[in-house]
Amino acid sequence: RILILDFGSQVTQLIARRVRESGVYCEIFPFNTDPQRITDFAPKAVILSGGPASVTGSDTPRAPQQVFDLGVPILGICYGQQTLCAQLGGEVEGSDHQEFGKAFVEMQADCSLTEGIWATGEKHQVWMSHGDRVVRLPEGFKVYGTSEGAPFAVVADEARQIYAVQFHPEVMHTPDGAKLLANFTHKVAGCSGDWTMAAFRQQAVEAIRKQVGDARVICGLSGGVDSSVAAVLIHEAIGEQLTCIFVDHGLLRLNEAEEVVEVFRHHYNIPLVHRNAKDLFLGKLAGVEDPERKRKIIGGTFIDVFEEEAAKIGGADFLAQGTLYPDVIESVSFTGGPSVTIKSHHNVGGLPERMDMQLVEPLRELFKDEVRDLGRELGLPERLVGRHPFPGPGLAIRIPGAVTSEQADILRKADAVYLDAIRKAGLYDAIWQAFAVLLPVKTVGVMGDARSYDYVCALRAVTSTDGMTAESYPFDHEFLAGAATRIINEVRGINRVVYDVTSKPPGTIEWE
Ligand code: XMP
């Protein structure tokens, strides 16, 4: 396994993804982690990430000495290169020639990092993003590649297996970057590349058995990918010791509840409590307009119902959650923010503390696309595995203001028609998240010979990698017009359709 030390770059997670895609397990630690943790992790190699600081400033991040004392191969990327060179006796200075974006590296000599990918004399596209640059190399280092703005674009001390690049191999704009990283993990670090989802499944099953013993586990299913994959994996490990509880708040997508019941109860034979609590939730939401209050009511009611159902089956010692790696990575923050970010919605209203249960979180080490692969490996249907994210409060936050059962029904239908149109156009997988929003606004239309006075439906579709930032999806006009016609023809109660072109920021993905 490989250790990635994070110096705060926006794209550190991409390094981890590329390394894992090369079949090698890795984890990200902040640069200022307890050095003992690094020794205990016993990595086969270390990668130093990029970062926003300047090595030339005093008091800026450095790699702990442990990294060099381990005697394992090291790869420094951008800031990682600069601090590595500075710490080993080289020199870095602020440059008046900043290099941002596309650049070309010209190879001057062959080294293990570029072997079989870039030959001497060749020029290849890379992605640069730096102001500082290395001006003098530490002893033992040699230049292997140069670029216009970075005379030390690729440097190495081959004897000590220390490599450093000024560009970012982890981003798509460095077309050969993934191959270079695979060369580092396989050829330089000697990792075998056999970390696959099949291997993960086996290890995870053993780990769950060890953690849980013969105790009982409950898992809250939401219909989403993460909790579904976690439940199926845990069931594989401990069988009937697991019970799933599915609280249906009546604000799910069309047929979602039926699909969850079908997959879990009938396909996998997993004990499942399906509580239809639609009236309870909609009753509590009646007349409530404030978005935050709506969320709180839904979260609180969810916990009440969940607890009630858990008590009925005699409780459990463990609570399973589909927490993912991006939620637990300790992020390096230069703005004084919290060093550990855990998205609150994965820890619904402090449920584990309130119910005094320990957590089973078998997906804590995985990225979203790895969870999808694991779901496929476990035989979950593609429709479920590839599904767009869906918020816990469901359709309630897609009906601005007070929610009624009638509006939820209209929205559910419009959403299904919209998603069907997207699937038929072959666009579903190109979009991070797409959904319909029902505006509490009525406008005048003409249908047949009659005047109509119905709701406005807004369509949303975004591309994103993590939901933190997003761009509206650039549908062509024909698609949008076709979807609008279908929604108005097939869904009673809507006579006008608009498309939301706001990106995030300044907008959010959801409307509330
Ligand atoms: P926003 O609207 O904040 O959404 O741009 C970012 C992503 O998070 C999802 N989301 C939620 N998920 N509980 C959840 O489980 C919530 O309360 C919640 N609010 C937003 C949203 O669907 C998008 O994918």
Q: Is 78 a catalytic residue?
A: yes
**Residues 121, 107: contact at Cβ < 8 Å?**
yes
pLDDT (0 to 100) of residue 443: 98
469 lines ligand 1 (CB under 6 A): no
Please choose, from the candidates 414, 421, 423, 384, the residue with its C-alpha nearest in 3D space to the C-alpha of residue 493: 414
Q: How far apart are the first and last CA of the chain?
A: 42
Q: Does domain 400-499 match CATH 3.40.50.11890?
A: no
> Is the pLDDT assigned to residue 448 strictly greater than 90?
no
CA separation for the pair 432, 427 (Å, rounded): 10
pLDDT (0 to 100) of residue 332: 66
Please choose, from the candidates 282, 230, 291, the residue with its C-alpha nearest in 3D space to the C-alpha of residue 252: 282
CA separation for the pair 318, 114 (Å, rounded): 48
Q: Which residues line the annotated binding site?
A: 222-228
Residues of the chain with CATH 3.30.300.10: 400-499
Q: Measured in angstroms, how far is the CA atom of residue 284 from the centroid of ligand 1?
A: 21
326 lines ligand 1 (CB under 6 A): no
Given 78, 111, 191, 457, the catalytic residue = 78
11-15, 245-249, 460-464: range with lowest mean pLDDT? 11-15
393 lines ligand 1 (CB under 6 A): yes
Reported confidence tier of residue 329, pLDDT bands at 50, 70, 90: confident
467 lines ligand 1 (CB under 6 A): yes
For residue 433, which atom of ligand 1 is closest to its CA?
A: 24
381 lines ligand 1 (CB under 6 A): no
For 298: left if phi > 0, alpha if psi spans -120 to 50, otherwise beta; the answer is alpha
Express each pLDDT in 388-432 by its tens digit.
999 989 999 999 999 999 999 999 999 999 999 999 999 999 999
Minimum CA distance residue for ligand 1 atom 19: 391
CA separation for the pair 220, 28 (Å, rounded): 28
**Residues 132, 82: contact at Cβ < 8 Å?**
yes
Q: Dihedral, CA atoms, 207, 212, 216, 217, nearest 10 degrees?
A: -50
291 lines ligand 1 (CB under 6 A): no
Express each pLDDT in 27-40 by its tens digit.
999 999 999 999 99
377 lines ligand 1 (CB under 6 A): no
Given 170, 236, 309, 370, the catalytic residue = 170
Query: 185: which DSSP letter?
Result: I
Fold observed for domain 197-385: Rossmann fold (3.40.50)
Given 124, 130, 168, 249, the catalytic residue = 168
> Is the pLDDT assigned to residue 138 strictly greater than 90?
yes
344 lines ligand 1 (CB under 6 A): no
- Other beta carbons within 10 angstroms of residue 181's beta carbon come to 26
Residue 161's Cα: distance from chain center in Å? 32
> Is the pLDDT assigned to residue 350 strictly greater than 80?
no
For residue 389, which atom of ligand 1 is closest to its CA?
A: 24
Reported confidence tier of residue 466, pLDDT bands at 50, 70, 90: confident
Tokens coding 112: 């293990």
Assembly ipTM: 0.98
Express each pLDDT in 230-260 by its tens digit.
999 999 999 999 999 999 999 999 999 999 9
DSSP assignment of 269-318 equals ---EEEEE-HHHHHHHHTT---HHHHHHHHHHHHHHHHHHHHHHTT--SE
CA separation for the pair 290, 296 (Å, rounded): 10
Q: Is 111 a catalytic residue?
A: no
Q: Measured in angstroms, how far is the CA atom of residue 299 from the centroid of ligand 1?
A: 13
pLDDT (0 to 100) of residue 344: 41
Q: Which residue has the higher pLDDT, 122 or 335?
A: 122
Cis, peptide link before residue 506, omega less than 30° from 0: yes
Q: Is 457 a catalytic residue?
A: no
In single-letter form, the type of residue at position 278 comes to K
3-state secondary structure 124-180: EEEEEEEEEEEEECCCCCEEEEECCCCCCCEEEECCCCEEEECCCCCCCCCCCHHHH
Minimum CA distance residue for ligand 1 atom 3: 508
For residue 510, which atom of ligand 1 is closest to its CA?
A: 2
For residue 299, which atom of ligand 1 is closest to its CA?
A: 17
For residue 397, which atom of ligand 1 is closest to its CA?
A: 19
pLDDT, mean of residues 173-179: 95
For residue 388, which atom of ligand 1 is closest to its CA?
A: 24
510 lines ligand 1 (CB under 6 A): yes
pLDDT (0 to 100) of residue 345: 46
Considering the segment(s) 2-188 as one domain, its CATH architecture is 3-Layer(aba) Sandwich (3.40)
pLDDT (0 to 100) of residue 340: 39
Please state, rounded to an integer, the average pLDDT across all residues of the chain.
Answer: 92
Residues of the chain with CATH 3.40.50.620: 197-385
Percent residues over pLDDT 70 in the chain = 96
462 lines ligand 1 (CB under 6 A): no
Express each pLDDT in 261-275 by its tens digit.
999 999 999 999 999
- Bridge partner residues of 410 (DSSP): none
Tokens coding 400: 């601005």
- Other beta carbons within 10 angstroms of residue 218's beta carbon come to 25
Q: Measured in angstroms, how far is the CA atom of residue 510 from the centroid of ligand 1?
A: 7
Residues of the chain with CATH 3.40.50.880: 2-188
Q: Which residues line the annotated binding site for ATP?
A: 222-228
Q: Measured in angstroms, how far is the CA atom of residue 50 from the centroid of ligand 1?
A: 29
> Is the pLDDT assigned to residue 502 strictly greater than 70?
yes
With DSSP H G I counted as helix, E B as strand and the rest as coil, what are the percentages for the chain, rounded to 5?
A: 35, 25, 40
